[in-house]
Structure 1
Amino acid sequence: MSVVGVDFGTLKTVIAVARNRGVDVITNEVSNRSTPSMVGFGPKSRYIGETAKTQEMSNLKNTVGSLKRLAGRSFNDPDTQIEQSYIFAPLVDVNGQVGAEVNYLGKKEKFTNTQLIAMYLSKIKQTAANETKLPVSDFVMSVPVWFTDIQRRVLIDASEIAGLKLLRLINDTTAAALGWGITKLDLPGPEEKPRRVAFIDVGHSNYTCSIVEFRKGELVVKATSYDRHLGGRNFDRAVVDHLQKEFKGKYKVDIMEHPRALARTLVAAEKCKKILSANQQAPVNVESLTPDVDASSMVTRQEFEAMIEPLLSRAHVPLEQALADANLTKDDIDVVEVLGGGSRVPALKERIHSFFGKTLSYTLNQDEAVARGCAFSCAILSPVFRVRDFAVQDITPYPIEFTWEKAADIPDEETSLTVFNRGNVVPSTKILTFYRKQPFDLEAKYVNPDQLPGKINPWIGRFSVKGVKADGKDDFMICKLKARVNIHGVLNVESGYYVEDQEVEEEIKDEDGDKKDPDSISGRADRFLNKLTRTFSDKAMDTDNKEEAPKRTRKVKKQVRKGDLPISSGTAALSEAAKAALLEKESAMVMEDKLVADTEEKKNELETYIYDFRNKLDDQYAEFVSDDEKAKIREKLDASEDWLYDEGDDTTKAVYIAKFDELRAMAGPIVQRHFEKVDAERRAAQERLEAERAARRAAEEARKAAEGDKGADATKDEEMTDAEAKPEVEEAGEGTK
């Protein structure tokens, strides 16, 4: 099972996996380390990721981007209208949620944003599975810190529709902070001053600053602030606005009135911005601005910085707000870590540097840091991996309050309460106590709707508490409700129960906090009593009636849990039935895409076979085919080729397979003759090789035998020499004697 982290971005998505005792960023089907965050629709199938980007220019009205920015929005939300300026497919209302109307399989279809995100996550799941060669189920995904409850629920629902188990929704900068801190071995201890780091993330559409405190084995987010409309795409738009005026005067073309011209200019503006990050000037070339106009221009860095000055002037605001919320000063910050593709703009880096007065740190990979942090978080939460414990304590971005109807028997009862304040720890649980005689409802909503992004509905959910009843006319049931903001940042009333006040006896134990001064009168009395008790106890051991020392108890009032209270919840999340229906629909579309891909593959196989076999007729198979056979086969191949580019251009997978099998059957005898010759040549070569080996073995054996005979003769000669020499020595010895 793969452990996957996904940085789901507005422009592109990065996937990281935990493996090989570390974290790797994986590549997609075209070996890119990021995948475009868009979905396109065609007459036969969908285009997702790289394929959607490839066909975007020719299919603008059926290609949807900015998927994340549309999550949880209504059609009338002003932020939806902002996104429409970056999306060329028409956005529409679909049952109260924003969606897109596109041409799919030859007819008009409307898909909600939740469905579009689920489609994209299905592709991310497939990409991860293809790379790791393992099934993908558990994953952690990043979200902007400003996402509300309804926006987070959309991502959770989309994950389930895509067949994924979302272990955690983690804020972008928190994920980056985890990736930064988990590898540090020199963090201060629990009693030491924490290391404070400001993480500044400049993404494609967001600008976020988080102040994070690190100690050994944990990170605590102290404050987060953001600008939702300051990022790389806003710099691109500033260049587009400049080029619009220039092209209008130079070529008499208003790009805002031509969607394809605007799309091409956006691409050119992004490229210009990237070049200016490292150069003083950059050319802008837009081919086919209109069918008969190729546009060009030149932009200097000085001009570019003048264009984006209104954006740069806002850069300090989130930084000041984050420091104020954390009750810190610039001098309290130890490290300023910058990440995100938009942070490469030199003028923006200079503004951040001048604000903090510190050298900026770039130890994290600016494009991949969030995905790596998500993978670390997934590894920590997954039972598959063993990871060094690292606690992550995040905070809520908006205050949440509960409201309810006043109880008739409690005239002075308050009807609302802010339960989770801004900056409250996440995850966090609060117990709410109500005195009621009958079932009741309560609602959760955000306190200040004006602080929410766009016109997001501040309503979070309605929770109905069942099974409430009082025993007597004047009695109340004491109801306890457990409200929790979970690890995803989503609020639920998880459970309810009722209690009763009862007097219970509990043992008095000195070690339980009821200790007395040993030198006091009562302390001396207790010691005397204990000594006396032990004396009697010791004597009792000599008898048959052994008794334990009496326990000292007291009566106290305690709330004792008596039973559970059923709770029914109504939230913005999809019902289980709706999710099951969308999951079935998504699975059907996945199979449709797979069938189209397989059909295209069989078509390509047929085309390749036609060209390959035609070439082999004059080369590899020339000696195995007669002129008549060659003529007939060529005629068949030409007919198949003509069919393929005419009526066979769009047919079924089965037809392509049948055509392919027909050609292979016709070519079978020729291929068989070629195979038989090749096989005969192979056997002959093998026989020659065996004969050569046998000859070499025989020669080697003969050589060894010859060497053995020579060795035997030499030994005999040596023995004869010794035998002949020995008497001479003896005779010489006797003569001497």
Structure 2
Amino acid sequence: MSVVGIDLGTLNSVIAVARNRGVDVITNEVSNRATPSLVGFGPKSRYIGEAAKNQEISNLKNTVSSFTRLAGRSINDPDVEIEKDFVSAPLVDVGGQVGAEVTYLGKKEKFTATQIVAMFLTRLKATASAELKLPVADVVLSCPVWYTDAQRRAILDAADIAGLKCLRLINDTTATALGYGITKTDLPGPEEKPRRVVFVDIGHSNYTASVVEFRKGELAVKSTAWDRHFGGRNFDKALVDHFAKEFKEKYKIDIHENAKGKFRVIAGVEKLKKILSANQAAPLNIESVMNDIDVRSMLKREELEELVKPLIERATIPIEQALAEAKLKPEDIDAIEMVGGCTRVPSLKNAIQEFFGKSLSFTLNQDEAVARGCAFSCAILSPVFRVRDFSVHDIVHYPIEFAWEKSDDIPDEDTSLTVFNKGNVMPSTKILTFYRKHAFDLEAKYAKPEMLPGKTNPWIGRFSVKGVKADAKGDFMICKLKARLNVHGILNVESGYYVEETEVEEPIPEPPKEENKDGDAMDVDAKEDKDEKPKTRKVKKQQRKGDLPLSAGTAALDQASKEAATEKESQMIMEDKLVADTETQKNELESFIYELRDKIHGVYAEYANDDEKSRLAAKLETIEDWLYDDGDDATKAQYVSKMEDIRSIAGPIIQRYNDKIEEERQKVLKKQQDAHAAKQAELERKKREAESKKQAEAPPEPKDSEMSDADTLKPDEIEEPSA
């Protein structure tokens, strides 16, 4: 079983996997550790990730980016209006959700942001499977802290469509904190002062600051604040606007009127910004930006800092908010961990460092920390991995309330209740109690809509409770509903049941015996009857009697819509595969033509007669002409057929060549075998000769019945027998 964590970023996404007693980042098909978060649509197939990046400039209107910021939103959301500046494909309404209208397979199609996220996850799933040589099913996905219930449901729906089981949808900074804490062996114990760390994550489009307390084996998020429109792309926009003004004066061109020209400038300033992070000045040279005009310019770091000054002035606001919510001061913080690509900007680092008055820490990989934390989370949740126990306590960021209709039988009943307050630990379960005689509905929504991103609808879901009726005496049924904010940060009413109150007798606990001066318990009533029964009292207790059926309506896709989207995705995967296979077959045919044309006058020349050579040359020329004319857009079957046509002539020639090669190989093999056999025979002969020579040189051994000269007795040594 694979254990995979995915950092779903706005610009790039990273895949990490737990293996080899650690966490590795998986490279994609071109060996990059991050995959561009792009999905493009073409006349034959889709382009996803690296393929979409390669054709982006030539296919701007059909390439969708920033889809993680669009998922779960409506077209009327002000944040979606902001995204139109960064997404080149036209954004439209698709059944109440924001989506993109693109040209796919030669016709106009509309896809929701959820579907586009699913397409991208399908590519990441294939990348991970290819690397691990295992099917990938279980994953942990990251998301921005500020995501609402609807946005979180959209990402989970996308994972389902892509055939992935999301074990946890984890907040970006929580994943980073987990990756930081789980590897630390020097965290304070339960009774000691916790280690307080501020995680500052500034990526391509988001800025998040979290205050996290660490103790041995656990982390607790104390507060989080964010700026949804602060990141690398905002720095790029400031630079693009600066150069647009300069080019208008200097070259009389307006890049804002030309989408491709603007894109080329965005790509150029992105590189320029990175160079200025390490150098004092950098050039900008772009060939044919628009109207065949080349542009040149130069920018100093001081000029860049002046251009982004409004952004730098906002740099510490999220940190101040997070510290205020946690009721802490900068001096209470033990470390400030910086992650995210934008934290490489020197002026941004300086502003944050001055605020804290201490050095910043860069111990985590700025681009991969979130993905690594996701992989650790997946390993913890997976039954096949043994990981050090580490508890993660996240918090609720938007208060949630339930509202219901007032019961006619209870005129003074409240009709709403805030069940999950901001700062509550998550996941969390609450039991709601209602007294009813009939079925009823309740609605969940965010208690403070002004806190939500953009103008998000505060509605979360509607839950209907069935099977409610008065009891035999006409009294209320006591209904209990279990409301749970789960690990994904999603609210559900998981179950409902009803209880009955019954009177039961329970013993009254005896008061503690008084102690005498010596410390021994005194017998208060020496005359107490030892056989007296203990005193009891009657109390009312609730006993569960049965379940109440529930039905729910939420922002999540219904089963039918999800199945339709899954089927559509499977169909598009098959079309992509067919196009890829067709392209492979076409390339093989082209390579085969060039290979034969070269070899027929080379290694194959002596194995073909003149007639075969002329027929093969004519066939190759005919098929090559077809390949670059009508065959440029042929089917896989046509390419296979043309390959067979060539093989019908070239096959016998190639076979003769292969037979000759095999014959020569067998001769060489036999020669080697004969030489080996002769060598073995020679070794055996020499061995026998050596043994014979050794035997000839050895002295003969005496027989048992004979005596040697040394053993012969002299006459005077013979003893006479005694008389």
Report Cα offsets for 1:136-156 as digits up to 9, x if no partner: 111010010000111111101
Of 548, 562, 576, the residue aligned with 2:559 is 576
Q: What's 2:86 paired with?
A: 86
- Whether the aligned pair in 1 keeps the contact of 2:255 and 2:290 (CA below 8 Å) is no
Aligned ranges 1:177-576 → 2 under 5 Å? 177-471=177-471, 475-507=475-507, 516-517=512-513, 519=515, 524=523, 532=530, 553-576=536-559
Q: What's 2:63 paired with?
A: 63
Name whichever of 152-161 and 282-291 sits farther off: 282-291
Report Cα offsets for 1:196-254 as digits up to 9, x if no partner: 10000011001110000011111000000011111011111111011101111111110
One-letter code of the match for 1:18? A
Percentage of matched positions with identical amino acids: 64
Q: What's 1:679 paired with?
A: 662
- Whether the aligned pair in 1 keeps the contact of 2:5 and 2:373 (CA below 8 Å) is yes
Name whichever of 643-652 and 48-57 sits farther off: 643-652
Report Cα offsets for 1:100-150 as digits up to 9, x if no partner: 111001000111111111111111111111111111111010010000111
Shift of the alpha carbon at 1:560? 1.7
Shift of the alpha carbon at 1:592? 0.8
* In 1: Cα distance, 2:87 partner to 2:606 partner: 60
Q: What's 1:96 paired with?
A: 96
- Whether the aligned pair in 2 keeps the contact of 1:516 and 1:523 (CA below 8 Å) is no
SS of 2:137 mapped into structure 1? strand
* In 1: Cα distance, 2:498 partner to 2:394 partner: 31
Report Cα offsets for 1:628-677 as digits up to 9, x if no partner: 22121111111111111111111111111121122223211111111111
Q: How many residues align?
A: 709
* In 2: Cα distance, 1:270 partner to 1:515 partner: 76
Report Cα offsets for 1:692-727 as digits up to 9, x if no partner: 1122122222222222232233224x989xxxxx96
- Whether the aligned pair in 2 keeps the contact of 1:39 and 1:47 (CA below 8 Å) is yes
1:643 aligns with 2:626: yes
* In 2: Cα distance, 1:383 partner to 1:346 partner: 43
Shift of the alpha carbon at 1:464? 1.4
One-letter code of the match for 1:645? Y
* In 1: Cα distance, 2:437 partner to 2:408 partner: 10
Shift of the alpha carbon at 1:730? 9.4
* In 2: Cα distance, 1:253 partner to 1:409 partner: 73
Shift of the alpha carbon at 1:50? 0.6
Q: What's 2:569 paired with?
A: 586
Report Cα offsets for 1:359-398 as digits up to 9, x if no partner: 1111110000000000110111111212111110001111
Change (3 A) 1:464 1:711: same
* In 2: Cα distance, 1:265 partner to 1:344 partner: 21
* Aligned-pair Cα RMSD in Å: 2.3
- Whether the aligned pair in 1 keeps the contact of 2:514 and 2:524 (CA below 8 Å) is no
Change (3 A) 1:527 1:555: farther
1:618 aligns with 2:605: no
One-letter code of the match for 1:327? K
Q: What's 2:673 paired with?
A: 690
One-letter code of the match for 2:264? R
Q: What's 2:582 paired with?
A: 599
* In 1: Cα distance, 2:544 partner to 2:44 partner: 60
Shift of the alpha carbon at 1:504? 1.2
Name whichever of 437-446 and 297-306 sits farther off: 437-446
Q: What's 1:545 paired with?
A: none
* In 1: Cα distance, 2:671 partner to 2:560 partner: 73
One-letter code of the match for 1:504? V
Shift of the alpha carbon at 1:417? 1.4
One-letter code of the match for 1:139? V
* In 2: Cα distance, 1:155 partner to 1:248 partner: 42
SS of 2:453 mapped into structure 1? coil
* In 2: Cα distance, 1:527 partner to 1:644 partner: 113
Structure 2, unmatched stretches of 5+, are 703-707, 717-723
SS of 1:136 mapped into structure 2? coil
Q: What's 2:40 paired with?
A: 40
Q: What's 1:166 paired with?
A: 166
* In 2: Cα distance, 1:196 partner to 1:276 partner: 33
SS of 1:467 mapped into structure 2? coil
One-letter code of the match for 1:713? A
One-letter code of the match for 2:215? R
* In 2: Cα distance, 1:95 partner to 1:388 partner: 45
* In 2: Cα distance, 1:144 partner to 1:73 partner: 14
* In 2: Cα distance, 1:707 partner to 1:203 partner: 82
Name whichever of 282-291 and 421-430 sits farther off: 282-291
Change (3 A) 1:329 1:630: same
Aligned ranges 1:106-121 → 2 under 5 Å? 106-121=106-121
Q: What's 1:131 paired with?
A: 131
* In 1: Cα distance, 2:92 partner to 2:548 partner: 41
- Whether the aligned pair in 2 keeps the contact of 1:281 and 1:298 (CA below 8 Å) is yes
Change (3 A) 1:700 1:553: same
Structure 1, unmatched stretches of 5+, are 534-548, 721-725
Shift of the alpha carbon at 1:470? 1.5
Shift of the alpha carbon at 1:680? 1.3
SS of 2:310 mapped into structure 1? helix
One-letter code of the match for 2:30? V
One-letter code of the match for 1:311? L
Shift of the alpha carbon at 1:685? 1.0
Q: What's 2:635 paired with?
A: 652
TM-score of the pair, normalised by structure 1: 0.93
One-letter code of the match for 1:624? Y
* In 1: Cα distance, 2:554 partner to 2:280 partner: 53
* In 2: Cα distance, 1:88 partner to 1:527 partner: 92
Shift of the alpha carbon at 1:507? 4.9
Shift of the alpha carbon at 1:732? 13
Change (3 A) 1:551 1:600: farther
Change (3 A) 1:526 1:568: farther
- Whether the aligned pair in 1 keeps the contact of 2:403 and 2:443 (CA below 8 Å) is yes
| More helix per residue | 1
